[in-house]
Amino acid sequence: MPGSKVCLAGRRALLAAALALPLAGLTRAAEPGELQPWTGKTDAPRIDLLHPDGTRFDWDALRGKVVLVNFWATWCQPCVAEMPALQRLREQLGPEGFEVLGVNIREGPARIEPFVRKIGIRFPIVRDTDGAVTKAWGVGVYPTSFIVDRTGLIRYVLVGESEWTTPAVLSRIRPLLGPAPGR
Amino acid sequence: MKRRTLLKAAPAAGLLAAAPWAANSQSQTAPAPGTDLPPQGWRTFEVVHRLEVAPSPGPVMAWVPLPLTNKTEWFETLSNTVSAGNAETKIVTDPVFNAGMVVATFKAGEPAPVVEVTSRFRTRDRFIPLKAGAGTPASSQEQALFLRGSESAPTDGIIRETALKITKNAKTDVEKARAIYDWVIENTERNPKTRGCGEGNVKAMLETNTLNGKCADLNALFVALARAAGVPARDVYGVRVTTSPRGYKSMGPKPGVITKAQHCRAEFYAQGIGWVPVDPADVRKVILEEAPGLTANDEIVKKSRSMLWGGWEGNWLGYNYAHDVKLPGSRLAAVPFLMYPQAENAQGRLDSLDPDNFKYVITSKEITG
């Protein structure tokens, strides 16, 4: 498995060591470029943020879907590189109850909106303007992505960029897309 | 009607007499990089921070960092003047680090939220020989404050493990700090693509072996490692205001617009000596920017490395030493450090690294005569 590229501050770097993710006090080693099982039963922290246009994002409306939560920034080259793949994944699995949520770290609408238009992103984007949500999810490098199941539990984490529509990734996500639980 | 408030800076008690050094550092032509000069004397500058925050339906708040409130032998704040139209303004200092800032609160729907802060200060070169009493002393309370970790740079775990490895053969504070200074220079890189000055997330830098960034990363790395090795240390956040007296083009903008000239320096505390200035991040900046293809073995780099161990040039305005700053009146999370103007509206915190859209301009000029 090739090493993944991540940004601390805008440059590709090989992830060489375990990344501590202090969510709920648990630490899991995260290998670069792989979806790693999240073995703790940890509720995903709420994401109550605004879209770039100022409207409020409805976190509760995602309940019942499998959600990929992706932390990113326009200055982060690996984040930018994987965006088209995230869009393709969403198009492929969306009819089965899958959604992607992009959480932008600390940038304004003037930077985000032209970028979204240029790439053709159609999944929801929210702005974490003070970094509080990023911190609550234990994110220290970008991009970092989490897979949240239909009941709101984190099931996988991936640190770095990925080609999201590979068989290896799909083999992890598809089992979560079983029949939606009754409400 | 504009309201101007003349606010006097906290007086620096026991004003230091100007040292009997060379008095006038101004030259008509730029010196060659690395020009040898004796320590340059006091120079007075005026820096203006002008914020024109985009109008917003809801209330808007803004915070502007002020020059150092602490008295030092190399920096003195002379005055701060605030002009802010239809806004309530006040000067506050944070309760932990004494960081000074202007807080401006604009009413909802204010069509032109503008705040302008004009600061005058004087500064001079600071070169501290490593001998008894040469630096500024600090109380045990102050030393303890700067031994504490921060949110993104704790003093345990991987930071402590790394610090102990680096300093395993060092016994004194100076030896430990020097070992860490050299290690940062030899094991990191300045990354020109880092946004702003970096984020200073030292824990993530070490955990992911991403040892690159800009001043707020590399000097934060020095500070975190020093603290973890038991040596008090602190980042000093500020902005460069004029060219380098010694001709380093990588270490000073031309006076005028300095909006993107923020720079974080560092200090460590040696028992019996006092606070000692260092700047390993600027050594990496010299390597990257002073000329193409430089390495640590080039003469200009060696000169800068020697100068920045125990020395800073007096072409820079220091704001504060603060970490994890809770902005007074803000409903949002603390900022990791206060080196840029900040503002918030109903949609959250504005992007302080995007001055064109924020927007703000910082200018500087030297006051002579």
Q: For residue range A17-72, what is the model confidence (pLDDT) as tens digits?
A: 333 343 332 334 445 578 999 875 589 999 999 999 999 999 999 999 999 999 99
Q: Is residue B169 part of a domain?
A: yes
Same domain, B253 and B179: yes
Same domain, B152 and B269: yes
Q: Is residue B107 part of a domain?
A: yes
Contact between B286 and B304 (Cβ < 8 Å): yes
Same domain, B154 and B173: yes
ipTM more than 0.90?
A: no
Q: Which pTM was predicted?
A: 0.89
pLDDT band at A180 (very low <50, low <70, confident <90, very high): low
Residue of B208, B214, B219, B344 to mutate, interface with A, max A Cβ within 10 Å = B208
- Give strand ranges (E) for B53-99: 60-65, 75-83, 87-93
- Euclidean distance between the first and final Cα of chain B, in Å? 33
Chain A contact set for B154 (CB, 8 A): none
Chain A contact set for B358 (CB, 8 A): 108
For residue A15, the model assigns a pLDDT of 36
Q: Is residue B24 part of a domain?
A: no
Same domain, B132 and B116: no
Stronger pLDDT, B17 or B289, i.e. the higher one: B289
Counts for chain A of helices (H) and strands (E), in that order: 4, 8
Domain extent listing, chain A: 28-177
For residue B199, the chain A residue with the least C-alpha distance is A9
Same domain, B163 and B273: yes
Chain B contact set for A132 (CB, 8 A): 332-333
Stronger pLDDT, A7 or B35, i.e. the higher one: B35
pLDDT above 60: residue B6: no
The pLDDT tens digits for A83-101 are: 999 999 999 999 999 999 9
Q: Is residue B32 part of a domain?
A: no
CA-CA distance, B75 to B333, in Å (whole number)? 31
Same domain, B156 and B268: yes
For residue B56, the model assigns a pLDDT of 87
Residue of A5, A8, A57 to mutate, interface with B, max B Cβ within 10 Å = A8
> B272, B291, B313: which is the final residue of a domain?
B313
For residue B136, the model assigns a pLDDT of 94
The pLDDT tens digits for B220-261 are: 999 999 999 999 999 999 999 999 999 999 999 999 999 999
Same domain, B149 and B290: yes
What is the rounded average pLDDT of the residues B259-279? 98
How many domains does chain B fold into?
Answer: 2
Q: Is residue B332 part of a domain?
A: yes
Same domain, B143 and B258: yes
Stronger pLDDT, B2 or B343, i.e. the higher one: B343
Determine the structural domain holding residue B111 and report its residue range.
4-9+42-124+327-367
- Chain A residues with at least one Cβ partner in B under 8 Å: 6, 8-11, 13-20, 49-50, 54, 73, 75, 77, 106-108, 110-111, 127, 129-132, 135, 140-141
Under 8 Å CB pairs connecting chains A and B tally to: 100
Dihedral sign, CA of A122, A127, A132, A138? positive
**CATH no. for A28-177:** 3.40.30.10
- Interchain CB distance below 8 Å, A19 and B193: no
Contact between A48 and A152 (Cβ < 8 Å): no
For residue B85, the model assigns a pLDDT of 84
pLDDT above 60: residue B18: no
Same domain, B160 and B300: yes
- The enclosing domain of B53 has a CATH number of 2.60.40.2250
Pair of tokens at residue B152? 């993104």
For residue B218, the chain A residue with the least C-alpha distance is A9
Minimal Cβ distance to A110: which of B212, B335, B357: B357
Q: Which residues, 6 or more positions from B328, have their beta carbon under 8 angstroms from its beta carbon?
A: B63, B92, B94, B101, B103
For residue A179, the model assigns a pLDDT of 62
